[in-house]
Amino acid sequence: MEYNFAKIESRWQRYWEENKTFKTFDDYSKPKYYILDMFPYPSGAGLHVGHPEGYTATDIISRYKRMKGFNVLHPMGWDAFGLPAEQYAMQTGTHPAITTNKNCDNFRRQIKAIGLSYDWDREINTTDAHYFKWTQWIFKQLYNTWFDENQQKGRPISELTIPEEVQLQGLEAINEFIGEKRLAYYDNAQVWWCNSCKTVCANEEVLTDGSHEKCGNQVVRKNLKQWLLRIPHYADRLLQGLEGLDWPAGVIDMQKNWIGKSTGAEIDFQIEGLNKDLRVYTTRPDTLFGATYMVIAPEHELAGEITIPEKKEEVEKYIQAAALKSDLDRTDLAKVKTGVFTGRYAVNPVNKLPIPIWIADYVLLGYGTGAIMAVPAHDSRDFEFAKEFNIPIVCILDPKDVEEREEILAGNKCWTEDGEYINSASEETGLNINGLNKEQGITTTIEWLEAQNIGKATVNYRMRDWLFSRQRYWGEPFPVIHWEDGEVSLLDDEELPLLLPKLEKYTPGDSGESPLANAEEWLHVTDKNGRKGRRETNTMPQWAGSCWYYLRYIDPNNEERIFDPEKEQYWMPVDLYIGGAEHAVLHLLYSRFWHKVLFDLGIVSTNEPFQKLYNQGMILAFAYETSTGAKVSSDLVEDRDGKYYHTETGEELRQIVAKMSKSLKNVVNPDDVIERYGADALRLYEMFMGPLDERKPWAENGVKGVFNFLNRAYRFFADENNITEGEEDIEVAKLLHQTIRKVAYDIENLKFNTAVSALMVFNNLAIKKGKVTLDTARTFARILSPFAPHLGEELWHLCGKKNTLAYEQWPEVNVKLLQEDSHEYPVSFNGKLRFKIELPIDIPREEIEKAVLNDPKANKWMEGKTVRKFIFVPKKIINIVVG
């Protein structure tokens, strides 16, 4: 009766594979459930125990939903483009496809060993030409779409009306006009360049200290021709779409912050002595009366013109210094603010007072208009600057009942909250907001500005255009040709996919050109008229393939179209999407953007792709450090009597929790866990560790705990001597049905840890009782199977069933068994629990009171006291207030 997990697991894995047990059919008669994992990047290191956490969770739900009668789509694939395979190619000359396929094979082997119920016939790989053909096709759709502001909707470029004055200027002007509308465009853009890796880095690969995540080298800015996507056009749609989603609030907040919508006004200030206006953006037009200076960014186009000759030298010096500073230096908040006076004044439109124009690098060119009106009394940054340069601070918002009111009114303290306006009226201009509050002040001022025709309400977003090209080899080639006459054209659909050329050398050029520039034959093209052209040498970023993979799973082998619309309508949206929180913004925002464009073009049927999102927490590991905080590699740690010692120095060490890392030698490989304890134990422990969304440390002893449970369950249920005929013991029957209900509830609410615990509790009782009926054994096999599918199938089989239990019905709860006729009430006096008493459920309150107060145990607590209150909560507690 030994639990031979290796034998059991390989047998059922073979069975599932041979019988294609988990092949999904497009059976429209059944309700569907689409449950998706974030597909992995198949790294050379293989799986670590963090991967199977989310995969097990989705697998449990998939198996459960199948038993509940759903048609479940549960696929897996590979996000396989990426830099590591390319760097390996640079070092060894091995084609990235070879490395990638090897890694995919290893990942697939590891994942299959966990017993996950994927439909492997739907496996996709972003580097497969059959797949990226459609990534290129989507790029074409983006290129050929413009965003109609009025309809708030993307529309085909063919539906764009060209203004007459543009048409009159000829073809070039028309193309330029269209180009400015396309969602994908080609332009100069600043990118991060790593001189050591000779490659461009994505923003997210640059650490906050300005170094390259991969090699630690400081990255530099480079100006290169790039593809960009106009995602800000969809800002409002992306914001609104968040409303109906069942997503973690934190992720929604992060996306909102990233989009960064702000409402305010643009205001034109007259510049003294120049026939020009300076336009600023502000969220606080109501504070115009407190504006005592203005600031423009050093890169502002008017910087030169505004500066008076006497100040020229000083200003130029400042601008140059600012240009040399890294972004990091410029945005370091701790640093003292710097700036320089241009010598020129603007006119404050509300009171006609002259205010000085400064240049300072705390104002960024890329946001708003690159110029601000500064209100030091009511903006902390402006306040700091004004203090530094002795610029007047005029308080115009009375904070009323605030402690520091006097200080604020005197301009010695900054006040950014609401209040009542003072000093905010001008007879000359007719604007008066004195006595109003912030909200009224803003509306009134904007109305006034619009009436004067010097400003208007404006919305700004923090989100920028998405830099969509990388100077790399191992990515999707753009289906683009740049012709010698300057025309840019896209390949016809029939010419897709555009494959990557074979290369001798994968090293990029020093100038920042992709390795593809070396592929002479591939690179140069000639059209039928003899016109010469050059293919785009940039490739798409890794996001491209992951932006839409969930759509391809629906119809992965369709050669004719991206997918069959009927299938798409059936399967979409994804009902549940589980993955790491590190994708809270970028991947999920980019995907949503593409999805909305495809929706506008009528290609997909849902407005949002992922209905419910859940993040699994990171799996950490125990690590050890000395009293000075130095980390000690795990292979140098000895455990004696619950304390930890350094094997070489003998020093006592402290146990801490840290990320798994090679240097700490605390990385756990699922292969090892499976070999020692089996896949079911791995799965069970991943779930038993704690709540799915929390970070938690891996502990080998915990695996032993669940392994123990599987052992006990097998030894008990696989032994026919323990299986009886006839009626089930009432206690066992009651607990069984409680367990069915608890496990189902917990699965649906993603509380897998407590579900496992409930199964353990039932198993403990069954073993204690020593006997269960065959029905009970069969029920247990079914409710265990989503968690430990191999053992589930084995027990099902031993219970005399021939076929897989994957599609068996989830057991019905017998509600009658769950009804109790009495309850053991805890009795408290003044909130302190004193004793317990068993009472029938259905007797009136008076009798309960009588029974409790007359109980001999109650005397002790009531002696010399009177009962002031008797609290009775049915099926919960009794609390008696005495005094």
Partner RNA sequence: GCCCGGGUGGUGGAAUGGUAGACACGUUGGACUUAAAAUCCAAUGAUCAUUAUGAUCGUGGGGGUUCAAGUCCCCCCCCGGGUACCA
Q: How far is the CB of 693 from RNA (least distance, A)?
A: 7
Among 15, 120, 177, 367, interactor with RNA by CB under 7 A? 367
Q: Does 324 bind RNA (CB under 7 A)?
A: no
- Between residue 744 and residue 773, which ones bind RNA under the rule CB under 7 A? 751, 753-754, 756-757, 760-761, 764, 767-768
**Which residues are CB-neighbours of 14 under 8 A, at least 6 positions away?**
none
Q: How far apart are CA 53 and CA 620, in angstroms?
A: 12
Q: Does 225 bind RNA (CB under 7 A)?
A: no
Q: How far is the CB of 792 from RNA (least distance, A)?
A: 18
- Between residue 384 and residue 403, which ones bind RNA under the rule CB under 7 A? 384
Q: How far apart are CA 548 and CA 846, in angstroms?
A: 65
**Which residues are CB-neighbours of 589 under 8 A, at least 6 positions away?**
231, 238, 255, 258, 259
Q: How far is the CB of 436 from RNA (least distance, A)?
A: 18
Nearer of residues 142 and 692 to RNA, judged by Cβ: 692
Q: How far is the CB of 18 from RNA (least distance, A)?
A: 33
Nearer of residues 213 and 484 to RNA, judged by Cβ: 213
Give the x/- contact pattern for RNA in 619-658, rule: CB under 7 A: -----------------------x--------------x-
* Helix intervals (H) in 370-507: 380-389, 405-409, 438-452
Q: Does 264 bind RNA (CB under 7 A)?
A: yes
Nearer of residues 164 and 824 to RNA, judged by Cβ: 824
Other beta carbons less than 10 A from residue 840's beta carbon: 12
Residue with tokens 């299959």: 112
* 3-state DSSP helix/strand/coil % of the chain, to nearest 5: 40, 20, 40
Nearer of residues 22 and 293 to RNA, judged by Cβ: 293
The pairing of strands 723-724 and 145-148 is unpaired
Q: How far is the CB of 301 from RNA (least distance, A)?
A: 14
Q: Render the burial of 806-837: b for 16+ CB within 10 Å, e for the rest.
A: bebebbebeeebeeeeeeebebbbeeeeebeb
CA distances (Å), origin 482, targets 223, 486, 811: 19, 7, 63
Q: Does 704 bind RNA (CB under 7 A)?
A: yes
Q: Of the ranges 28-36, 87-95, 110-118, 830-838, which one interacts with RNA (CB under 7 A)?
A: 830-838
Q: How far is the CB of 70 from RNA (least distance, A)?
A: 25
Q: How far apart are CA 308 and CA 293, in angstroms?
A: 16
- Between residue 204 and residue 223, which ones bind RNA under the rule CB under 7 A? 208
Q: Of the ranges 238-246, 556-564, 792-800, 820-828, which one interacts with RNA (CB under 7 A)?
A: 820-828
Among 144, 460, 537, 542, interactor with RNA by CB under 7 A? 460
- Between residue 483 and residue 542, which ones bind RNA under the rule CB under 7 A? none
Q: Of the ranges 388-396, 548-556, 598-606, 702-710, which one interacts with RNA (CB under 7 A)?
A: 702-710
CA distances (Å), origin 844, targets 829, 835, 847, 848: 21, 21, 6, 7
> Rg of the chain's alpha carbons, rounded to an integer?
34
- Between residue 67 and residue 86, which ones bind RNA under the rule CB under 7 A? none
- Between residue 666 and residue 695, which ones bind RNA under the rule CB under 7 A? 688-691, 694-695
What's the one-letter identity of residue 34?
Y
Q: How far apart are CA 219 and CA 205, in angstroms?
A: 10
Nearer of residues 228 and 363 to RNA, judged by Cβ: 363
CA distances (Å), origin 188, targets 367, 416, 520, 589: 18, 39, 24, 24
* Helix intervals (H) in 48-179: 51-67, 83-92, 96-112, 129-143, 164-168, 171-179
- Between residue 550 and residue 589, which ones bind RNA under the rule CB under 7 A? 581-582, 585
Return the closest-CA partner of residue 28 out of 70, 66, 74: 70
Nearer of residues 467 and 604 to RNA, judged by Cβ: 467
| Tokens describing residue 140 | 């074409």
Q: Of the ranges 143-151, 280-288, 562-570, 663-671, which one interacts with RNA (CB under 7 A)?
A: 280-288
- Between residue 235 and residue 254, which ones bind RNA under the rule CB under 7 A? 249-250, 253-254
- Would you give the DSSP letter of residue 182? B
Q: How far apart are CA 750 and CA 738, in angstroms?
A: 18
# residues contacting RNA (CB under 7 A): 84
Among 224, 364, 402, 525, interactor with RNA by CB under 7 A? 364
- Between residue 778 and residue 797, which ones bind RNA under the rule CB under 7 A? none
Among 347, 771, 828, 851, interactor with RNA by CB under 7 A? 828
Q: Does 192 bind RNA (CB under 7 A)?
A: no
Return the closest-CA partner of residue 536 out of 27, 797, 186: 186
Among 699, 837, 839, 853, interactor with RNA by CB under 7 A? 699
Q: Does 712 bind RNA (CB under 7 A)?
A: yes
Cis bond upstream, residue 573 (ω within 30): yes
Q: Does 438 bind RNA (CB under 7 A)?
A: no
- Between residue 331 and residue 360, which ones bind RNA under the rule CB under 7 A? 331-333, 335, 337
Nearer of residues 443 and 764 to RNA, judged by Cβ: 764
- Between residue 840 and residue 879, which ones bind RNA under the rule CB under 7 A? 869, 871, 873, 876-877, 879
Nearer of residues 343 and 702 to RNA, judged by Cβ: 702
**Within 13 Å, how many C-alpha atoms sit on residue 811's CB side?**
24
